[in-house]
Every structure is written in structure tokens, then in C-alpha cells.
Chains A and B, each alone.
Chain A
Amino acid sequence: MLRLFTKIVKTGIVTERFKVPGDDELEQLGIEIKRHIDKRFSGSIAIREVDAGSCNGCELEIHALNNPYYDIERFGIHFVASPRHADVLLVTGPVSRHMQTALLRTYEATPDPKWVIAAGDCAACGGEFGVSYASCGAVANVIPVDMTIPGCPPTPLALMKGLLGLIKT
């Protein structure tokens, strides 16, 4: 136990601070996100992530938003386990035809008002996979999309910028 606490104390807080020079882009972004969330969403938004056919690359970077460096929860953004708890669907991948109904049902299960973000090149435009017998291509071909975040995969910073863009509109 002692080792564990020693490690925690020694590690300290790595979350990138507001005043860290050089990395202020992230923090500026965070402050702005937080301001808008406080004003328009009573302090928090809940995101349900849906992999509709991705290669898992986007998921890895969305995961990274929860690591201690980005710690996206401090801005009032958290990931939830059910679409019924969500304000925002964060959808990745080209929508595989085998996931089409599942995505539609997830969309229907999300209460209004709701927003959809298509994250990653595949979700935005079909990416490397496009439209085929197995793929519907972009998320917008299946459900209405409010915002897209390009990148293959988008970096955690790009994801945060994208979220801000959604909140501001």
C-alpha cells in the first residue's frame, strides 16, 4: 500500500494545467468548452460513444480523453453507458451494414434534444472503406449529423476542439 501511495504522490497531477506554457492550447480549449457547457447544458454533457464499424483506431484516441493528461471530465464532459443517458452520440467508423439497425436504434433511444458527432475520417466521409455491399459509408448516410471531426484517427486535441465546435453552435 505504501508503494502505491508513494507512487501516487510522486506522480502528482499531470493533468495539463491552465498556465503551463506551450500547452495552453488544450487548456484554453478546455476553458472555453467549460464556459459553454456551464451556460447551455447546466454544467455537463453526457456522451454515448458508438462504434458503428470503425477499425478501433478512433476508440483508442477517444479513450485517451479520459487519461490524466486530458482528463476531459473536468470540463463537465463524461461518457455514459446507455444512449438513454446521453445528450450526444459520438459515432465512429463507416457505418457497416450489419450495424445500421443498431445505430438507428441507438439514435432513437437517445432522448431529445440530442446531437450527433461523426468522429474520424470514416465517419465523416467513409474514409478508406467508402460505400459498398458491406458499408453505408459516412454516418450522415444513416442518421442526421450535427458535426464532424476529421482525422485518421483524430487526436485527443482534435476531438476536444470538435466538441467545442459543437457546443458553440
Chain B
Amino acid sequence: MKADWTTDFLNQLSMDISVAQHNAPSSAVWQIESRHWQRFAELACGQQLRWSAGWAEQFAGKFLVNACFEKQGVYIVLRTIIDGAKPELPSQATVYPAANRSERHTQDMFGIRFTGHPDNRKWTRHQAWSKHSYPLRKDFPVQGEPQDITPPDMDYPFIKAHGAGVYEIPVGPVHAGIIEPGHFRFQAVGELILNLEERLGYVHKGIEKIAEGRTPEALARLAGRISGDTTVGHCWAACRAMEQAAEISIPPRAALIRGILAERERIANHLGDIGAICNDVAFVFAQMQFTRLREQWLRNNATVFGHRLLMDTIIPGGVACDVSMHDCALIKQEITRLRKELSEVITALDLNSSLEDRLYTAGFLAPDIAAAFGALGYVGRASGQRFDVRKNAPYAPYDRVKVRVPLETQGDIASRFWVRDKEINASLHLIEDLIDQLVDGVLAAEWKAPKADSEGLGIVEGWRGEIVSFIRFDGNNKIARFYPRDPSMLNWPVLEKLVLNNIVPDFPVCNKSLNGSYSGNDL
């Protein structure tokens, strides 16, 4: 029933594209000729497939280019091989805006040209390496050839606006708050935002490159530091990919504990975000209450799992921490207490007219734009996009519990606020259910070195939304290729849309309501 659309779609494709099918352990791989790359996207878009992730690999003088699509919880990886001498293929960004920055990233990192791309400016590259060298090619040394001082990236061609009273506001990379670096370029008239352009890439740390040659354990540690607030999410996605490649399945107890960890991470971040959204409209009461609740939550993380942010709790094959009966009781008490606190604080916020005044109708993201850009997680779900990996493509332990996915359709900051609130409640239920289902057993499966060239695609629902993590092994139990796609990669572009016609002073709260990861985007 579920896979029906693939059969129909393959039939439709057979009219003009020949598709070779392989079965990878993670999902179906459809291989096509590179010249059909864009045509496939057009047909896929017509069938309402969602563009999810794109990445490339280098293989003995050739490049493998991949794009991951999803529909009704079924994923396919589209693959093509292109010649190393003339690495180019037609862009999918003309059809899928979500592919835009991903293709530019691949272009910067591999030197693969996407012809007909609607925006051929560089994206990840600033001035740390030259225009004609490509860090993810095998002949590029991990140390590169950096200058003593990397110059600033001065000449990025931002879109200009002209006209009486139009002015430009450059913001960043160093921002006023305690946040990550990135550059925002506004064009405004008076207080009204005419256009916003993001320029990210400042925290590019070469994660994909330094992943190569790592052991599975070391890769898991690195994945846990792609985005500090999503350490569980990324680590889980990377471990899932490695476990697929190694063809091992994790013990049931480990899966349940992973679920508890992921839901705890979701709650911790939502608690922080709700407070911060209110703080950005100068409603400090909420900020104080929510940072207090978050601190209590993090302290229990440290007590039970040994780390406030839960870093390095997930390892290849399972988990590195156990929960005792005593811990379970502690967590349940904590949940009861948090529910009571939230019912008081949230009610106070709900009844506050000044908050209502600032959050409703501001930062509006229309459902059709959210769909076109493939917005994920709470950003998508506040604009009517219900997709949730836990629900639509369930993986252990979510295949044995009921996952409720809250949905809002208003698309404003208030919707993103309420989706977070509802997700906290849903996650509290989930943690209780997962604890009730805890079974005895080992915490990690024994690791088996994967076969040479084996690959895995780990897809999990992180707190920001769907995380896609691709891994390929070499023959020595080492990583040959790692590509993690943070949900921020798809959510950042919608910020440029949802701020339009808002006032400049509302930008911080618009931004916080989306809360993209800079580090997860820049890699």
C-alpha cells in the first residue's frame, strides 16, 4: 500500500527516463543518466515528492551525485555518475527551491557545476580556499593551503535595492547577543523590511572533510558536535547510517533509551526557545520562567545521563548510558512537576495581551511557501506541513509507541510558539511511554566492520525536524564519506520569506521563532 506510488512513478518515468534500481540497506537507490537529472525533478515535483537532501562523492575519477526524495514516508535516493573530466549536470534547483543552497554547497566543495542553476553564486566558500580548489576532492589535503590570515569575504554580490528612501542594513557576522555568527543583509524602507538576504558559512569547520578516515566511534563524537543543541539527533542519525552499513541492529533497550534521550533534547530546546521568543519581544517573565525550567531539566540530564546536553550518550551499536529503576522514578516525578509548572506559566502567557499583540500575525509563513521550500519540523508544522519522521517513517523505538504530531496552520510566530508548546506535551507523554516499555537487555550490539564501500542513510526526527545523514565506509572500518543534512539547511531559506513586510525590530523574534542552526548549516 505504502510503496504504491513508487511503482506508479517508475511506470511514468519509463516513458522518458531509464531507471536502474538498486537496493541499499537504507532505502531504494534509483540510478539515472545525468542528463535526466532535471527532468526527473520536474516529474517528481509533479508527483509531489519532497526534495530532502543532496550530496556528492568522489570515486576514482568520477563523481556520484545523490538527491534524496520522500513521499508518504517512503524515501528514494536518486543517483547519477558523472565524469570527473567535465563534472556538470542540470540543476534541480529550478524545480525545487530546497535544492538551491545544497547544490551551491556541492559546487563549492566538489567543483561540480549545476547547469541552469537559478543562483550561481558561491555559498559555503568564503576566502579560506581558492575558487579553483575543492576541499572535498580526494586530492585536496585536509590541511589545505591557508594564508596566515584569511581575508574577509568582502565582495559577495548581494542583491541591491534602489529607490527613494531605500537603505541597507548589514548585520553580523558577530551579533549583539550570545549567538552564532552569520551575516544578514536587509533592504528596508523606514522600518519595513523589503528584502533580506542571508550569508552563512562563517562557522564552516570542514566537518565533512575531517570525518574521512575516522573510526565509527570518532565519527559519532564528531556528529555529536555538528550542532551542540542537536547532539542527540545528529549522533543518532550518524549511528543509524553506520549501523545500516554494518548491517547490525541495535538492542531494544538501546533503542528505547535513544528515544528518551531524543525527546529530552526536544523538550530542553523547546523550553529554551519559548522563553527566548518571549524575551525578544521584551517579555522577561517568560524568559526567566523558562530558563529556570530548562535549567532543572538539564540538571536532571546530568544526574541521570551524565551530561547536561546529553553529548556522547549515543554510540555506534547502541547507547553509552543506562537508566535505573530509580532514574525512571526520578524522570516521572520531574515530568509531573514540569506539567504543573507549564500549566501555570503557559496559561499566564496565553492570557497576556501584549504578547498576543507581538506574536500573532507576525513572521507569517504561508503553507504553500513552506511546502515549496520543504520547511521541516516545527517551522513546517506551524504552516500546515505535518511531516514527522517518527510518524511517517517510524524507526525503533517509535514503531512501538503512539507519536502525536501537533499541527498549526496559521503560519505566524504564535503558531510556531504553540507548536513547540504542544510538542513538549507530546514528548512528555512519549518519555513516559518509552519508560513503561523499557525492557532488560544489553545497551549496545557488538560492532562488525562493514564491507568495503557499504553505505547507510540515517534519517531521524531531530528536535528541529528531519535529519538526513549519509555514510560510506572504506574497507578498513573507516569513514570514506559523511554528509549530515541538518533541518536548518532547508529552514534557513524560509526565514528570508517570512520576514518580508515585517518591521526590522521584529527580525530577532522572527529569527528566534525559526531558530536555525548556523553550525549545522555551515558544517
Q: Which of B174, B202, B351, B517 has the most CB of A within 10 A?
A: B174
Contact of B345 (CB < 8 Å), options: A7, A64, A134: A7
Stretch at the interface among B98-106, B218-226, B440-448: B218-226
Residues of B within 8 A of A59 (CB): 178-180, 228
Chain B count of residues within 8 A CB distance of the other chain = 65
Stretch binding the partner chain, chosen from B140-148, B252-260, B423-431, B472-480 = B140-148
Q: In the assembly, what is the distance between CA of A58 and CA of B309, in Å?
A: 10
* Chain B, 298-316, CB within 8 A of any chain A CB: 298, 302, 308-309, 311
Q: Are A133 and B348 in contact (CB under 8 A)?
A: no
Binary per-residue interface labels of chain A (114-146) against chain B in the complex, 1 for a CB within 8 Å, 0 otherwise:
000000000000011111111110000000000
The one of B142, B229, B344 in contact with A7, judged by C-beta atoms closer than 8 angstroms, is B344
Stretch at the interface among A25-33, A89-97, A160-168: A89-97
| A132 and B344 contacting across the interface, CB-CB below 8 Å | no
Stretch from B185-193, B286-294, B385-393, B414-422 forming part of the interface with A:
B286-294
Chain A residues contacting B351 (CB-CB under 8 Å) are: 1, 3
Among B135, B180, B292, B294, contact of A51 (Cβ-Cβ < 8 Å):
B180
Q: A68-B288, A98-B128 are in contact. Are A55 and B347 (CB under 8 A)?
A: no
Write the nearest CB–CB distance from A36 to chain B, whole angstroms. Answer: 23
User: Which of B135, B153, B228 counts the most chain A CB atoms within 10 A?
Assistant: B228
The answer to whether A57 touches B228 (Cβ under 8 A) is yes
Q: How far is the CB of B443 from chain A (nearest CB, A)?
A: 22
Bound-state Cα–Cα, A60 to B203, Å: 16
Alpha-carbon gap, A132 to B211, bound state (A): 12
A134 lies within 8 A of B204 (CB): yes
The answer to whether A99 touches B202, judged by C-beta atoms less than 8 angstroms apart, is yes
- Report if B437 contacts A (CB, 8 A): no
Does the CB pair A51–B203 fall under 8 Å? yes
Task: Tell me whether B292 and A11 are in contact (CB under 8 A).
Answer: yes
* Residues of chain B within 8 A of A150, CB atoms compared: none
Whether A106 is near chain B, meaning CB under 8 Å from some CB there, is yes
Q: Which residue in B142, B204, B229, B345 is a CB contact (below 8 Å) of A56?
A: B229
Q: Which of B128, B225, B308, B519 contacts A97 (CB 8 A)?
A: B128
* Contact indicator A97/B146 (Cβ below 8 Å): yes
Smallest Cβ-Cβ distance to A135: which chain B residue? B205
* Dominant secondary structure at the B interface: loop
Please name all residues of chain A whose beta carbon is closer than 8 Å to the beta carbon of B135 when the two chains form the complex.
Answer: 133-134
Distance of A56 Cα from B517 Cα, bound (Å): 8
Q: Is A20 interfacial (CB-CB < 8 Å)?
A: no
Asked if B203 and A64 make an inter-chain contact with CB atoms under 8 angstroms apart, the answer reads: no
- B146 to A133, Cβ gap below 8 A? yes
**Is B149 in the interface zone, CB < 8 Å from A?**
yes
Closest A residue to B172 by beta carbon equals A102
Q: What size tier do the contact residues of chain A reach?
A: 35 or more
Which B residues touch A56, using CB under 8 A? 180, 227-229, 517-519
Q: A1 to B283: give the CA distance in the assembly, Å.
A: 13
Contacts A101-B151, A153-B309 given: A60-B272 contact, CB under 8 Å? yes
Does B25 have its Cβ within 8 Å of any Cβ on chain A? no
Instruction: Say yes or no: A64-B291 contact (C-beta < 8 A), given A54-B180, A94-B205, A101-B150.
Output: yes
User: Is the CB of B42 closer than 8 A to any CB of chain A?
Assistant: no
Decide yes or no whether B295 CB sits under 8 A from chain A. Answer: yes
Name the distance in Å between B425's Cβ and chain A's nearest Cβ.
19
Any B CB within 8 A of the CB of A63: yes
Residue B381 is within 8 A (CB to CB) of chain A in the complex: no
Residues of B within 8 A of A100 (CB): 149-150
Chain B nearest CB: distance from A94 CB in Å? 6
Contact status of A68 and B292, CB under 8 A, knowing A53-B203, A60-B272, A101-B150 = yes
Query: Cα distance A93–B180 when bound, in Å?
Result: 10
Contact pick for B205, options A8, A53, A63, CB 8 Å: A53
Asked whether any CB of chain A lies closer than 8 Å to the CB of B60, the reply is no
Let me know if B126 and A98 touch, CB within 8 A: yes
Q: A55–B202 contact, CB under 8 A?
A: no
- For residues 22 through 56 of chain A, which have their beta carbon under 8 Å from a beta carbon of chain B? 49-56
- Interface digits, B145-181 against A, CB 8 Å rule (1 contact, 0 not)? 1100111110000000000000000000110111111
* A132 and B144 form a contact (CB under 8 A): yes
CA of A8 to CA of B285 in the docked complex: distance in angstroms?
A: 8
Partner of B291, one of A66, A81, A101: A66
Chain B nearest CB: distance from A49 CB in Å?
5
Bound complex: CA A99 to CA B205 (Å): 10
- Chain B residues with CB under 8 Å of A82's CB are 176
CB of B209 closer than 8 Å to a CB of A: yes
The verdict on A18 contacting chain B, using a C-beta distance below 8 Å, is no
Q: Chain B 193-217 against A: per-residue CB contact (8 Å), 1 yes, 0 no?
A: 0000000011111110110000000
Q: Which of A61, A69, A99, A104 has the largest number of chain B CB atoms within 10 A?
A: A99
CA of A135 to CA of B206, assembled, Å? 7
| B129 contacts the other chain (CB 8 A) | yes
Chain A proximity of B80: nearest CB distance (Å): 27
Q: Which residues of A contact B146 (CB under 8 A)?
A: 97, 133, 136
Looking across the interface, which residue of chain B has its beta carbon closest to that of A63?
B178
B203 touches A49 (CB 8 A): no
The reply to whether A133 and B285 contact each other, CB–CB distance below 8 Å, is: no
Cβ A69 vs Cβ B144 within 8 A: no
Would you call B203 and A99 a contact (CB within 8 A)? yes
**What are the nearest 10 A-B pairs in CB distance?**
A133-B144, A57-B228, A134-B206, A67-B291, A97-B128, A81-B176, A55-B228, A56-B228, A97-B150, A3-B348
Instruction: Supply 6 further A-B pairs (C-beta < 8 A) apart from A52-B181, A61-B308, A132-B144.
Output: A55-B227, A56-B227, A56-B518, A96-B202, A132-B143, A132-B205
- List the interface of chain A (C-beta within 8 A of B): 1, 3-4, 6-8, 10-11, 14, 49-64, 66-69, 79, 81-83, 93-94, 96-102, 104, 106, 127-136, 152-153, 155
